[in-house]
Amino acid sequence: MMTVLQAKKRESGKRSTLSQLRKDGQLAAVLYGYQMESTPISLSYKETAKVVQKHGYTSVFKIDVDGKKVNAVMTDMQRDALRGHVKHVDFLAINMKEELEVDVPITLTGTSIGVKEGGVLTQPNHTLKVKVKPSDMPDTIEIDVSELAVGDTLFVGNVRDQFKDFVILTEDDYTLATVTPPAPQVEEADPSADNVTADDVKVIGEKQGRED
């Protein structure tokens, strides 16, 4: 069962209004898409953050706008560059019977063989674009990396056929994970090499055994 987010219509375009919304603990958003015009709305910042934290931002949200319930997905999130808090969210109203194209986060699972041998696991990309029915939309896509050895790279083409509830639209050569060799060990200098005494140094030009 989807959690219902309570929302209200709001005025659009006034900076003073947006500032007041934030002071009142409200989040500015816009709702547009299936069977509706673009509508500026506001929601409880705290309640929205709680739902996103629990279900992920790729979930289907049921938004109650002044009594009208709309199924929607989050398509954009703007954050304050300095403070990091969310400033604005875009919601796309959807038809639950039609497939969507969405970006879903990747979660790597398992401990790779290469990491056990001292290698370093790197994840260069963190989302996949998929085509999926709203009812089958995953919060995250889990990718098992336990079989990766040092020097191995895992691509989308290696895992595409593992998923049946959605279609991965991202290209086959898109890198999911790689295991690189461990950094070479730097040998420590012999501390005894620094303990040179005057007796160990020959003076240039000194003649040993000189007789007057």
Whether 158 and 84 map to the same domain: the answer is no
Domain closes at, from 71, 95, 119: 95
Domain of 23: which CATH number? 2.40.240.10
Q: What is the pLDDT of residue 20?
A: 85
Whether 51 and 28 map to the same domain: the answer is yes
Q: How many domains does the chain contain in total? A: 2
Supply the mean pLDDT for the chain. Answer: 86
Which helix (H) or strand (E) segment is 30 a member of?
strand 26-33
Work out the pLDDT band at 79, boundaries 50, 70, 90.
confident
DSSP codes joined into one string, 83-120: T--EEEEEEEE--TTS-EEEEEEEEEES--HHHHTT-E
User: Does the pLDDT value for residue 211 go beyond 70?
Assistant: no
Work out the pLDDT band at 17, boundaries 50, 70, 90.
confident
Whether 10 and 71 map to the same domain: the answer is yes
Whether 70 and 123 map to the same domain: the answer is no
Q: What is the pLDDT of residue 168?
A: 97
User: Domain residues for 137?
Assistant: 101-180
Whether 105 and 89 map to the same domain: the answer is no
Give the tens place of pLDDT for each residue, 95-152: 999 999 999 999 999 999 999 999 999 999 999 999 999 999 998 999 999 999 999 9
Whether 88 and 106 map to the same domain: the answer is no
Work out the pLDDT band at 209, boundaries 50, 70, 90.
low
Greatest pairwise CA separation for the chain in angstroms: 116
Please tell me the distance from the alpha carbon of residue 22 to that of residue 28, in angstroms, as a whole number. Answer: 8
Inside any domain, residue 80 = yes
% residues pLDDT > 90 (the chain) = 61
Q: What is the pLDDT of residue 5?
A: 92
